[in-house]
C-alpha cells in the first residue's frame, strides 16, 4: 500500500500524465469517446505506477527539490487572494454606504449616484485587473519551476534543461576527465506515425523509444528528450569505436522491437548523428555537429548512423 503522504505527489503526477495525453489528442480532434478516454486513464495510470515501481519517479527527491519553491508560490497566491478579497470587501462596503445614503434621502441625486457608481466600478475593474496580473505572474513562475525539474513528463527521460545543466558542468572544466560522445537521435517518419495511428500512438512510440534507449545503456550514460521526437544521449568513458557500437546496437534494437498500439505493431526506425565532445566545446557547437551528422543520416536513407567530428 502506498503511504498516505505519497498520495498527493502521485496524484499530481497522474494528472500531468492525463493532461499531456489530452493535449496531444486535442490537436487532432474536438471530442473524445468513452473508450478513448478510458484508454487515456489506463495509460496515465500505467505510466505513474511504472515510474513509481521502477524508481524513476523519486518521490523523496521530488518533495525535497520542489517543496520550498511551491510553498513560496502557494504563499504568494494566498497573500494575493487575501489582498484582493480585502479590497473587494472595501469596495462592497462603499457600495453599501452609497445605498444607505440613497435610501435615507427623500430626493435622489441621480448625478451623484451615477458618479459614485462609476467610481466603484472603476475600483472593482482595477482590482480585477490587478488580480489577473498577479495570477498570470504566478502561472509564469509555475512554468519556470516545472521547466527546472529534471525529467520530461511524457517519456521520463531527462529534459532539455537537465541536458544544459549537465553539459555546463562538463564543459566548465579546463580538461575533460574522460572521452565523451553525444548521439542525436531522431524517430524516422514520426509525422506519418501520428497521421496514420493518431497522436496517442505517437506519444506511446516516444515513451517506448525512451525506455528502449535507457535500458540499452550503461548506468553512467544519460538519455535526454531534446524536443519533439528528438533525443540526445551522452556517452562517457568510451572511445569512438565504442560509441559507434552503442549507436549501431540502438539501431538494431529499434528495428527488432516494435511498439504495440491497439493490437497493431508500429514499425519504427531511428536516424543517429554522432559527435565527440572536445575541450573548449560549447553546447551549441555539440548540438550543431551532431545535428549535421543527423541530417546526413536522414538524407542518406534514414535508419542509419552518421558521424561529424
C-alpha cell belonging to residue 32:
473524445
Scan for cell 497566491, then name that residue.
77
Among candidate residues 17, 127, 229, 306, the one labeled active-site is: 229
Distances (CA, A) of 170 to 100, 146, 148, 177: 71, 24, 19, 9
Q: What is the dihedral of CA 258, 261, 265, 271, to 10 degrees?
A: -40
Residue 140 annotated among the catalytic residues of the structure: no
Pairwise CA distance, residues 305 & 138, whole Å: 44
Distant-in-sequence, close-in-space partners of 90: CB < 8 Å, separation ≥ 6: none
C-alpha cell belonging to residue 177:
576527465
Pairwise CA distance, residues 47 & 181, whole Å: 30
Q: What is the DSSP letter of 32?
A: -
175-204 residues labelled b (16+ CB within 10 A) or e (exposed): eeeebbbbbbbbbbbbeebbeebbbbbbbb
Q: Which amino acids are annotated catalytic?
A: 229
Amino acid at each position: 500500500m502506498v503511504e498516505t503522504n505519497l498520495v498527493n505527489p502521485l496524484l499530481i503526477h497522474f494528472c500531468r500524465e492525463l493532461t499531456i495525453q489530452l493535449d496531444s489528442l486535442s490537436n487532432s480532434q474536438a471530442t473524445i469517446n468513452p473508450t478513448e478516454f478510458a484508454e487515456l486513464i489506463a495509460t496515465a495510470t500505467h505510466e505513474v505506477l511504472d515510474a513509481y515501481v521502477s524508481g524513476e519517479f523519486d518521490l523523496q527527491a521530488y518533495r525535497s527539490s520542489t517543496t520550498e519553491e511551491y510553498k513560496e508560490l502557494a504563499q504568494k497566491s494566498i497573500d494575493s487572494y487575501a489582498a484582493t478579497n480585502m479590497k473587494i470587501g472595501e469596495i462592497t462596503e462603499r457600495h453599501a454606504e452609497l445605498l444607505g445614503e440613497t435610501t435615507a434621502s427623500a430626493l435622489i441625486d441621480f448625478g451623484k449616484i451615477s458618479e459614485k457608481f462609476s467610481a466603484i466600478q472603476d475600483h472593482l475593474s482595477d482590482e480585477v485587473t490587478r488580480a489577473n496580473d498577479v495570477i498570470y505572474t504566478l502561472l509564469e513562475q509555475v512554468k519556470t519551476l516545472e521547466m527546472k525539474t529534471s525529467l520530461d513528463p511524457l517519456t521520463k527521460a531527462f529534459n532539455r534543461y537537465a541536458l544544459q545543466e549537465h553539459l555546463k558542468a562538463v564543459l566548465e572544466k579546463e580538461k575533460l576527465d574522460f572521452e565523451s560522445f553525444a548521439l542525436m537521435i531522431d524517430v524516422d517518419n514520426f509525422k506519418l506515425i501520428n497521421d496514420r495511428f493518431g497522436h496517442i500512438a505517437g506519444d506511446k512510440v516516444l515513451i517506448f523509444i525512451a525506455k528502449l534507449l535507457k535500458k540499452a545503456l550503461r548506468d553512467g550514460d544519460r538519455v535526454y528528450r531534446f524536443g519533439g521526437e528528438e533525443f540526445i544521449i551522452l556517452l562517457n568513458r568510451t572511445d569512438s569505436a565504442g560509441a559507434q557500437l552503442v549507436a549501431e546496437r540502438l539501431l538494431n534494437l529499434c528495428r527488432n522491437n516494435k511498439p504495440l498500439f491497439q493490437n497493431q505493431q508500429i514499425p519504427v526506425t531511428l536516424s543517429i548523428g554522432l559527435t565527440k565532445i572536445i575541450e573548449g566545446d560549447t553546447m551549441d557547437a555539440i548540438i550543431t555537429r551532431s545535428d549535421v551528422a543527423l541530417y546526413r543520416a536522414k538524407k542518406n536513407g534514414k535508419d542509419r548512423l552518421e558521424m561529424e567530428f
